[in-house]
């Protein structure tokens, strides 16, 4: 299998489509030059969510690689399994094919849970640091609450996404209407099937045994007002990952990467430089 790639000059960045299994290609944004930072998006976003991290980190001299998971954004949307194992396996193939070494892996929400599982399953292959942004881990929520989301995903996905958007930030006005519309448009690019199947993965995922397998430096970024992944999850991850530390975002809900954009980027840069 070979990566099918559409390239622009290296100084500007590259868009790639990497085949992770027969007839399944993932969209990868590969931008800048320098020490690599690999970013995994949350449900039901795509790597486009990191637009304002890409621009910042490129300016700071980093190579940023955003992987859009199968079923989302510009990646292929096959029928089949959508769970943490499949997602972790896909990330491994992409990093193998791009020959990434000594990267920092960052994941938001479901992407944070997947990043934990990848690190534990593959013994931190290709990476030497981990950073978790509002991660949906080690166990996301009460199963009955997620069951309601799954049911709504099957009959009224636009309403599900609208409801989700209302509790995404610390307050309904914490994210501007323009940014909210931008995020909503990204959400609607997701496959309806993948949207539902990923909710099932979130409901059933239990990463408590994975936490103790993480042996690399780990930072945990979390909004103290998060209504989707409550702050106690950050404390559980911190307790389970030896040597980890928490960065509190006191004015953020779940959307810390845009709610406190400047702090988010500066704290990420500080972690990268440690």
Residues labelled catalytic: 109, 226, 254
Rounded CA-CA distance 59/73 in Å is 25
Question: Positive or negative CA dihedral for 150, 156, 158, 163?
Answer: negative
Kindly write down the DSSP assignment for every residue of the chain, as one continuous string.
Answer: ---EEEE--TTT-EEEEEEEETTEEEEEEEESSSEEEEEE--TT--GGGGHHHHHHHHHTTEEEEEEPPTTSTTS---SS--SHHHHHHHHHHHHHHTT--SEEEEEETHHHHHHHHHHHHTTTTTEEEEEEES---S--S-HHHHHHHHHHHHH-HHHHHHHHHHTTSSSTTSS-HHHHHHHHHHHHTS-HHHHHHHHHHHHH---HHHHTT--S-EEEEEETT-SSS-HHHHHHHHHHSTT-EEEEETT-SS-HHHHTHHHHHHHHHHHHH-
């Amino acid at each position: 299998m070979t990566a099918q790639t559409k390239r622009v000059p290296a100084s500007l960045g590259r868009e790639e489509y990497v085949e992770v299994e027969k007839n399944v290609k993932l969209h990868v944004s590969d931008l800048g030059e320098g020490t690599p930072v690999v970013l995994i998006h949350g449900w039901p976003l795509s790597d486009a969510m990191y637009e304002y991290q890409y621009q910042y980190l490129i300016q700071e001299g980093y190579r940023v690689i955003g992987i859009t998971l199968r079923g989302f954004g510009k990646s292929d949307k096959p029928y089949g399994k959508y769970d943490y194992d499949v997602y972790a396996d896909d990330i491994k193939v992409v990093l193998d094919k791009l020959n990434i070494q000594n990267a920092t892996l960052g994941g938001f929400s479901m992407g944070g849970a997947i990043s934990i599982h990848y690190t534990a399953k593959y013994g931190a292959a290709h990476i030497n640091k981990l950073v978790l942004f509002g991660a949906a881990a080690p166990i996301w929520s009460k199963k009955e609450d997620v069951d309601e989301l799954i049911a709504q995903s099957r009959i009224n996905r636009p309403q599900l996404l609208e409801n989700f958007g209302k509790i995404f930030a610390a307050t309904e006005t914490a994210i501007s209407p323009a940014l909210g519309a931008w995020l909503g448009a990204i959400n609607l690019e997701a496959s309806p099937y993948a949207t539902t199947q990923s909710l099932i993965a979130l409901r059933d995922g239990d990463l408590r045994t994975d936490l103790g397998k993480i042996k690399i430096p780990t930072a945990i970024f979390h909004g103290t007002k998060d209504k989707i992944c409550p702050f106690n999850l950050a404390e559980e991850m911190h307790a389970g990952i030896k040597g980890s530390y928490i960065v509190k975002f006191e004015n953020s809900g779940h959307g810390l990467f845009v709610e406190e954009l400047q702090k988010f980027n500066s704290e990420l840069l500080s972690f990268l430089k440690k």
